[in-house]
Amino acid sequence: MVFIFFTAGGKRIHEPSRYRALVREMKSEKARPPQDLIHEARQLKDPYYTSLALFSLSADPRLSLQEAYDIALDAVRAACDVPKLWRRAELLTTLARKMKSWRGDGAAEKREHLMDALLESVVAMPDGKDLSDAIAGCVSRLGCSRVKPLLERALSNTGFEDAGAKAVIRRWVHHCGSPEAVQGDIMTVLNAVDNRAVRSKLMGYLHLQLRRTGAILRDDRTPLHDAVSEALSINDGEQQMETFRYLAKTVSAADDVRILKDAVDNLESLSSRAKIITALAGSADRAELREAAITLFTEALRTSAEVENQRERALIRMNAARGLARCQQMELAQRAYRAALDDCGENARLRNRICRSMEEHGLLPPEECDAVPRNRPHEKTADDVRAIRHMLALYNTYEGGITPVHLRAIARAAPLCIAFGMDLVLIGFPIDDTDKLVAYVTGDTNIGRDGKYLEELARQGRVVLAARTVPELWDTLGMPVATTSHPEEEKKIVMSEAIRLARLHHPLQRACIIMGLGKKGLPHLLLKEIPHHLELTGKSVSLETCTAMGVIAQ
């Protein structure tokens, strides 16, 4: 909610604009005395903007250090009065970011006290996703001395442990000490977690982060060993399989593959075993362990032969076939697809899915696929073709909660989508509620008619929030096309060709044009998985986000 009120003379005041005006005045040569500006900031009705204004004004060099500290402390306290928890989480993250450089080197001691106060405000938040967002957003700015209490609070946030705890573990491992010391300290905290599945997954995540530092881990004593041991002790079959599949996604070295494979061999359920081995094979392929991946995909096929449920057997074989095709083992993939089709029985929907998968990987479907309905764009009218809305996807590469960078990008994308008939996909954004997203944008930016275009887009059901694990579900979005200034030559494509191929081969006949939101563009692994790369300029020139969006829309 944005507060708009009126002065005694009936003048309309927009609080975000008033807050920004106070900060601008403080920086000007004709600024009023700081006490006058601070008094006016305290009159704002919305504690969100009161907090932001006070903290910004505390940087006024005309204030003594003690005066500035007291005002900044009031800003932190005002943040706790923000009633909507998602706004409070965002505000605490913003304060943490501003606090890191507050008043320069001469204010180091006071800055530490402010960070302690901010830490107290974060850990005092009620359990839920908003607490998780606050922890993830603040951890990189509050210093290494505060990572332990943040991790402990994240782990006590029942049902929302993952995101907050992962952000803290990532920060702790990469910035707060030697790998050996870090491993022991984090494992001590994780061992106190009651939930075995949570404990196992986070131990696996710790192992992954240690691998990424290049640390040399003892083969007989890694966090992955403990993670696997915890997973084997889980009594619930579904929860155990989900935990093992998660651990399979964290492997990045041949030793990790061996540790996990040895554990999976102890599982009683053949179906679970085959599914986890398939997931492990996919991770081995992404880690460029090609021979290990082929061996595991082949073993998953052998294990699937003993799975009794026909549908499960077909899905396992199809997923293994996909993996073998990615590994260029076309003959093995063809046989696996053939076996999957044999398991379909009367399930036409499953057969359709397998046939489409074969076509996507360049394999000639067998005769029974001829009966599967195909998209026939040439039978559509010109109006039908024009009615197909392609998708503009923003892929978030930032860590932590929602920031002004996110809000501005979304606000600028919305009018483009309205004007050029596109839907908007937000991949990996730290929010799972469209209404909340609209409230963020309309409350904090004037771009796109104060966010009204986004509101209209959402009302029409044309805003999609998707997880970063979305690549397996492109059927529900559109044919994926990644934008990059350095496309792989064999994947390079122009926009007109992308649209043509999408209409011919995608079940929804639309393209999903993906651009990275962040300094480094789209992640390497995503570029590796996506079959088409689009270079927008023809000259390998890297474009700023808004410029690239405009080129894509046209």
Query: Rounded to an integer, what distance in angstroms lies between the CA atom of residue 419 and that of residue 225?
Result: 54
**Closest C-alpha to 402, from 435, 433, 437, 442:** 437
Tokens 């392609």 correspond to: 390
Q: Report, in angstroms and rounded to the nearest whole number, the Rg of the chain calculated over CA atoms.
A: 27
Q: How confident is the model at residue 349 (pLDDT cuts 50, 70, 90)?
A: confident
Q: What was the pLDDT predicted at 213?
A: 86
Question: Among positive and negative, which fits the CA dihedral 534, 537, 543, 545?
Answer: negative
Q: How confident is the model at residue 206 (pLDDT cuts 50, 70, 90)?
A: very high
Q: What is the mean pLDDT of residues 72-95?
A: 94
Q: How confident is the model at residue 362 (pLDDT cuts 50, 70, 90)?
A: confident
Residue 424: helix, strand or coil by DSSP?
Answer: strand
Query: Rounded to an integer, what distance in angstroms lies between the CA atom of residue 293 and that of residue 270?
Result: 19
Q: Where are the domains of the chain?
A: 1-125, 382-553
Q: What was the pLDDT predicted at 273?
A: 92
210 neighbors 173 (Cβ within 8 angstroms): yes
171 neighbors 151 (Cβ within 8 angstroms): no
Question: Does 541 score more than 70 pLDDT?
Answer: no
For residue 551, the tally of other CB atoms under 10 A from its CB is 15
92 neighbors 51 (Cβ within 8 angstroms): no
Tokens 């704002």 correspond to: 44
Residue 217: helix, strand or coil by DSSP?
Answer: coil
Lowest mean pLDDT among 45-54, 312-321, 478-487: 478-487
Query: Rounded to an integer, what distance in angstroms lies between the CA atom of residue 270 and that of residue 264?
Result: 10
| Distance of alpha carbon 534 from the chain centroid | 22
508 neighbors 478 (Cβ within 8 angstroms): yes
> Helices H, strands E: what count in the chain?
26, 9
CATH superfamily of 382-553: SPOUT methyltransferase, trefoil knot domain (3.40.1280.10)
Continuous H helices in 392-433: 404-420
Q: What is the mean pLDDT of residues 120-136?
A: 94
Query: Rounded to an integer, what distance in angstroms lies between the CA atom of residue 344 and that of residue 366?
Result: 14
Query: Rounded to an integer, what distance in angstroms lies between the CA atom of residue 50 and that of residue 45?
Result: 7
**Tens-place pLDDT, residues 146-165:** 999 999 999 999 989 988 99
82-91, 112-121, 392-401, 449-458 — which one is most confidently predicted on average? 112-121
Query: C-alpha angle 308/313/314, rounded to 5°?
Result: 140
Q: What is the mean pLDDT of residues 170-187?
A: 91
**Closest C-alpha to 407, from 529, 545, 277:** 545
Residue % of the chain over a pLDDT of 70? 88
* pTM of full prediction above 0.75: no
**Tens-place pLDDT, residues 398-452:** 877 777 788 888 988 999 898 888 999 999 888 888 888 888 887 766 676 667 8
Query: Rounded to an integer, what distance in angstroms lies between the CA atom of residue 63 and that of residue 75?
Result: 15
Residue 515: beta bridge partners?
A: 394
Query: What is the DSSP-derived secondary structure letter of residue 235?
Result: -
Query: Rounded to an integer, what distance in angstroms lies between the CA atom of residue 438 and that of residue 87?
Result: 13
Question: Does 79 score more than 50 pLDDT?
Answer: yes
Query: Rounded to an integer, what distance in angstroms lies between the CA atom of residue 106 and that of residue 59?
Result: 12
**Tens-place pLDDT, residues 239-287:** 998 999 899 988 888 999 999 999 999 898 999 999 999 999 998 998 8
Q: What was the pLDDT predicted at 89?
A: 92
**Tens-place pLDDT, residues 279-289:** 999 989 988 89
- DSSP letters spanning 430-447: S---HHHHHHHHHHH--H
Query: Rounded to an integer, what distance in angstroms lies between the CA atom of residue 364 and that of residue 490?
Result: 21
Query: Rounded to an integer, what distance in angstroms lies between the CA atom of residue 75 and that of residue 54?
Result: 5
Question: Among positive and negative, which fits the CA dihedral 120, 123, 126, 132?
Answer: positive
Question: Does 8 score more than 60 pLDDT?
Answer: no
Query: Rounded to an integer, what distance in angstroms lies between the CA atom of residue 121 and that of residue 130?
Result: 13
